[in-house]
Chain A
Amino acid sequence: MSEQVGLRGKAWFQAFTGKNSPMVGDPGSVLTADAKLGEDTARFLCVVPNPEARFPCAGRGEVGLEESYTLATRIREAIEQDKNGKKRPIIAIVDVKSQAYGRREETAAIFLATATAADAYASARMKGHPVIALVMGNAISGGFLTHGYQANRILAFDDAGVVIHAMHKEAAARITLRTVAELDELGHKIAPLSYDIHDYAKLGLLHKLLHVEDPDRPSQTTVAQVQKELIDAIADARAGSQDLSNRLTSPGAREMRKAGLAARARMEEQWRQA
């Protein structure tokens, strides 16, 4: 796992956009900026740690109430501005610890807050904005559902610091009564349980795994490399459908999600007869 959640995201956000501060009125935990990306101007969004967070459980790179509403606002702003023109790409830079685990958040209905952000990403996608998630650190649980998992295409760095999972390892070990070592071993046998990005890649959900030299310190070369990959992913998204069907038709999905695909095929068949 990368040394500190969010630092990598912040470094790359700055490399792509030349900015490192939030938009006026936004909390310090959400960075948004428009920047050139090939022929396009893309909107980049990144959730970062905020030591001055108003909510004590949302300062270390978690997606909480303010983060969710800010993401939703900034995405909807782009949708509104582009409604009669070219739909700008939306790039979610993903380096998020998780959702915020706090009582204040629960009381104030964080389930709805996170829904507004996921809704905004999906709305952008369905209206024709290419939405790309670029996972370069943690993408855990509700944090990823809120920020990134509604993208048309998901790219991830091929690096040990990249972890996509339903629950962080220590908690998963505790709940399933396994040791962390047992969990790692099991993950190599049962791909969906794995914390290794290579095993995640087998599930067919990723568009591409990117090998990037020294991912903690973006250089001119690596920035240009990743920008090119983003541009390719945007073109691919524009050429494809606006739903998530590519996640089901990939070679990985056909291999690893046979049961789910069988259920889907049977449902289609019986639906028409009913």
Chain B
Amino acid sequence: MEQLKFDYPSAVRPVTKRAHVGVVGSGDMEVLMQPSETGGAQVSILTSVNGFGASWKAVMDRFFAKYDGAVRIDINDAGATPGSVMLRLEQAVEMIAPREVIKQ
């Protein structure tokens, strides 16, 4: 069990909605995305798989390189692959702002 936290202070575009996607089943995770209360974006991850801090940081860096919403993200993880993490994040964004597709 590991708790990871990342901040992305430059993600400042206001968002108004919240979204929940995914299930904490084997190889999957849930993400809760909602407007940040403090400005910038904060990510908090609770994962049952230890030792993947660097991979998590890489995925989050990649996500916030394309996305600038000021969101609070909470993740409960049961061993999702980096690919499914990105998919879940994109699904959450799609729910809070259907037309603001992530910059490609």
Are chains A and B touching in the complex at the 8 Å CB cutoff?
no
